[in-house]
Amino acid sequence: MRTQVAIIGAGPSGLLLSRLLHLSDIDAIVLERRDRAYVEGRIRAGVLEQGTVDLIHQAQAGANMDRNGLVHDGIELSVDGTRHRIDLRELTGGSTVMVYGQTEITKDLNRTHDEMGRGVVFDALDVSLHDIETDTPRVRYHKDGQQHEVVCDFIAGCDGFHGVCRKSIPDPILKTYEKVYPFAWLGILANTPPVSDEIVYARHDRGFALFSMRSKTVSRLYIQCRPDEDLEEWPDDRIWEELQIRLGGDCTNRLETGPSLEKSVTPMRSFVAEPMRHGRLFLAGDAAHIVPPTGAKGLNLAAADVRVLYDALTAFYRSADSGPLDRYSQSCLKRIWKAQRFSWWMTSLLHNFPDASAFDLNIQRAELDYLIGSRAAKTTLAENYVGLPFE
């Protein structure tokens, strides 16, 4: 078949790009190697910058988000049991964030594709890219035992860290940068009310903890753990006990417990691949970059890539202007490295490092003391957390 843009991957970035292109009368197809139930069942991040919220509205997929999303004016830092509020709205002149799960965004975008009458090709196996350095790249895949080929103008690689698209860029051209952290997050989802109306980031001598939510009745909670943690050693009672200890202070008794709905260990890494374009292939989202979740930037960076790529593709098809496509990698990477810096800083500020010296620990405490007591420092955190402006 022939299309204008072949999109590999039906996560939020691939679906969002497809929807935006459809609304601009640009033909696209989305290929996903997993089935729909698997894709819609993945539990992921849920803190949205205003720019991401705006892009979802532009895609006409924000109705459920508007009804069920939780607008947050601030976040809280709990340092050894004492909580300190960072007023995002006041410090940034009105900016906020919204808590709305990535799982729900994926479902919302899939429904828009159903309404379009152009669903995603799920269970597309053995996807391979060909002729990406020519004007007519091709994508091959197997579906129901038959081989299919898509001829297109451009390929958008939205297929995640383990996908095929980044691997299709030759090694001499692709450069990667990576930092692996010596800890992970053990997370649970539970039908319990959140301990606070806003997200709480907790620093404690036993390790970091995060008290978040998916709604007013569903909590999303994390504790710092080893990367090789055995979930069998962490029954729910032990997790709740550890969460109460790390939250500390008067709010410990407000933490309601209950059976976990989902339990997982998330490794922590920083990763960047560049360039994000090779020939007619453009990488977006986790295919090009991974951030530790401390700064809540993963999904938002993917949406920012989609915004830049969508604008570049519309410029090409509407006015034959290839300049934005040529600048795509440079434009995205500028924002990505700033988000990497912020995510690294938040991670370094709040986690316990197993090889930290007494000097390192005192520097970390001094940094926290400065942040809590300085409006300038809190403003820097707030500006980065709500999302830096697009240039």
User: Given 297, 317, 328, 351, which residue is catalytic?
Assistant: 297
Phi and psi (nearest 5°) for 333? -65, -30
What's the DSSP call for residue 168? G
310 is catalytic: no
- What is the distance between the alpha carbons of residues 306 and 333, in angstroms, rounded to a whole number? 13
Among 12, 137, 194, 293, the active-site one is 293
Q: Is-catalytic flag, 142?
A: no
Q: Determine whether 167 is an active site residue.
A: no
Mark whether 317 is an active-site residue: no
Beta strands in the chain (DSSP E): 5-8, 28-31, 47-48, 70-72, 74-79, 82-87, 97-99, 125-130, 138-143, 146-151, 154-157, 175-190, 200-203, 209-213, 219-225, 260-274, 277-278, 281-283, 289-290
Q: Which of 224, 189, 263 is nearest to 350 (CA)?
A: 224
Q: Pick the closest to residue 284 from 34, 12, 57, 61 (CA basis).
A: 12
Considering the candidates 72, 204, 278, 351, report the single residue annotated as catalytic. Answer: 72
293 labelled catalytic: yes
- Please tell me which residue in 100, 141, 181, 201 is annotated as part of the active site: 201
User: 312, 324 in Cβ contact below 8 A?
Assistant: yes
Among 68, 378, 80, smallest CA distance to 201 is for 80
Q: For residue 2, what is the DSSP state?
A: B
Q: Which residues are catalytic?
A: 72, 201, 293, 297, 385
